[in-house]
Structure formats: C-alpha cells, structure tokens
C-alpha cells in the first residue's frame, strides 16, 4: 500500500552510504548449458536473492556489477548488469572485474557440468533411450578463492537439500571464502522463486548466524551488515 511505499522510499533515502567507493561484484540466477540449439540443462535459481544483494549494495553507495544468468527480473537501479548464459560465459565476465573488486558475492547457481559435445542442429532421436555425456565446468568460486588478496572479501552460497550446515562449512574452507550463506532449498519458504529465505550465515572466524525467516531483501541487508562488520567498514 501507499503507506509502505512511502516508508520504503524514506528508508532508501536514509540509507547510509557505507559502501561508497567500494567495488562489488554479484553473480545471480542460474546458468544454462546447451544440449543443442533448442534443448539445455539448467537449474531452478530465480535470481531473486542475487538481485536483492546487488540492489542493496547499490543503495549503500557501492559501484556494482551484476553478472546475471537466466532470469526475467528487471535490472536493479544504479547497477551495471551483464547477462550471460553458460558457466564459462559467467566465469570470463567475473574474472574481468575481479582484480579490482572489494567484495564479490557469488549468489548464482552455476552449472557444475556442461554437455560434452553440443549438437549444432536440433537432435532428432527415435531411440527409446538416450545418454547425455557431461564434463565438469570450471569451479568459478574456487578459482576466485585461490586468487583473492587479503583485502578482498569473497562470499559464496550453498543451496542444499540435506546436511546443509556441514556442507557449507566444508565449502567455506575448501574454497577459501570469507563468508558463506547456506540455505535448505527443500524448505518451501527458503526455496526457489520465493521472496523469502531462511539462511545460516557462516564466517571465516567460525561464527554462525542463524537468520530467521525473512524477505530476501532483508537477508541482503543482513549480509552486508555482517560484511561491513567483518571488514571493519564504518559508515
């Protein structure tokens, strides 16, 4: 309603420019790996979480590049959006901006595998069974973790359906992250294409923050509050 719109408007106006001068990269949405010109493999990521993060960063005054997979979401205000399709497209675009970035948040659901041999023409098959051979895609997040300097803050996501905390802690270590945001996508209110999330935010120092059910826009705020605290950013 109008009351809340006006309230939101002033909340945005009031927002501290705590990230002014900072360069932020956000990846969002799912990538798509072609099988042939018509068919592809993808995943259920809607992009809502990553878009909310990019928007929040821009509202805090950061210089934001959003490298986005497949979604129909509108571009957030004051954000440079680069649309990509496959994991390798996403990688080359992120790596171009990474050396100069202060904060990189990988919220995209990147395809782990791509099709080994992409057909140039639509595949005509009459066989009762068919096999698709896949090969591993580059691990973008791990690559960034290996390259990052002490001044760069790197955040990953873990969308799991079981053993969420354990898996997320392992991923943070393995990929040299500063923070990981973990959520159980088998829960209806924390899943794909909904506006809410229930997340655990784990930082390099071992802190675990269990966030209650909240809007993805609110979780984006919480993520940056914790990043700013860990990076000792004072508004």
Which residues here bind a second copy, judged by CB under 8 A? 35, 37-44, 72, 109, 111-113, 116, 121-122, 125, 127-136, 159-162, 185-186, 192
Give the span between the Cα atoms of 5 and 12, in whole angstroms: 11
| Angle value at C-alpha 24, between 170 and 198, nearest 5 degrees | 50
| C-beta of 58 vs 185, nearer to a second copy | 185
Could you tell me if 56 and 217 are in contact, meaning their C-beta atoms sit under 8 angstroms apart? yes
**Residue 3 C-beta: closest distance to a second copy, Å:** 27
Rg over CA atoms, the chain: 18
**Residue 185 C-beta: closest distance to a second copy, Å:** 7
> What Cα–Cα distance (Å) separates residue 55 from each residue in 12, 74, 146, 169?
11, 11, 27, 27
**Residue 81 C-beta: closest distance to a second copy, Å:** 17
Beta-bridge partner residues of 155: 105, 179
| C-beta of 16 vs 39, nearer to a second copy | 39
Give the span between the Cα atoms of 33 and 115, in whole angstroms: 7
93 is catalytic: no
Give the span between the Cα atoms of 75 and 54, in whole angstroms: 9
| C-beta of 183 vs 203, nearer to a second copy | 183
**Residue 41 C-beta: closest distance to a second copy, Å:** 6
| C-beta of 72 vs 149, nearer to a second copy | 72
Residue written as token pair 């904060």: 103
Collect all residues with Cβ–Cβ distance below 8 Å to 215 and sequence separation of at least 6: 195, 196, 197
Choose the catalytic residue: 43, 93, 137, 197. Answer: 43
**Residue 135 C-beta: closest distance to a second copy, Å:** 5
Residue 108: exposure state from Cβ atoms within 10 A (0-12, 13-18, ≥19): buried
| C-beta of 97 vs 113, nearer to a second copy | 113
Could you tell me if 29 and 108 are in contact, meaning their C-beta atoms sit under 8 angstroms apart? yes
User: Active-site positions?
Assistant: 43
């Amino acid at each position: 309603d109008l009351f809340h719109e006006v309230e939101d408007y002033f909340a945005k106006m009031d927002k501290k420019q705590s990230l002014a001068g900072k360069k932020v990269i956000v990846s969002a949405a799912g990538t798509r790996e072609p099988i042939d010109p018509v068919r592809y493999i993808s995943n259920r990521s809607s992009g809502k979480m990553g878009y909310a993060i990019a928007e929040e960063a821009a509202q805090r005054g950061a210089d934001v590049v959003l490298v986005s997979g497949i979604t129909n979401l509108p571009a957030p205000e004051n954000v440079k959006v680069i649309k990509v399709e496959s994991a390798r497209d996403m990688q080359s675009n992120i790596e171009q901006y990474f050396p100069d970035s202060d904060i990189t948040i990988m919220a995209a659901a990147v395809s782990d595998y791509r099709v080994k041999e992409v057909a140039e023409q639509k595949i005509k098959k009459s066989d009762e069974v068919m096999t698709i051979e896949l090969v591993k895609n580059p691990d973008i997040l791990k690559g960034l973790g290996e390259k990052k300097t002490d001044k760069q803050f790197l955040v990953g996501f873990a969308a799991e359906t079981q053993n969420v905390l354990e898996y997320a802690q392992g991923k943070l270590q393995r990929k040299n992250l500063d923070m990981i945001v973990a959520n159980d996508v088998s829960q209806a209110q924390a899943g794909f294409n909904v506006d809410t999330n229930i997340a655990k935010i784990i930082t390099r120092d071992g802190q675990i923050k269990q966030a209650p059910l909240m809007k993805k826009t609110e979780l984006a705020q919480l993520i940056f509050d914790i990043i700013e605290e860990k990076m000792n950013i004072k508004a």
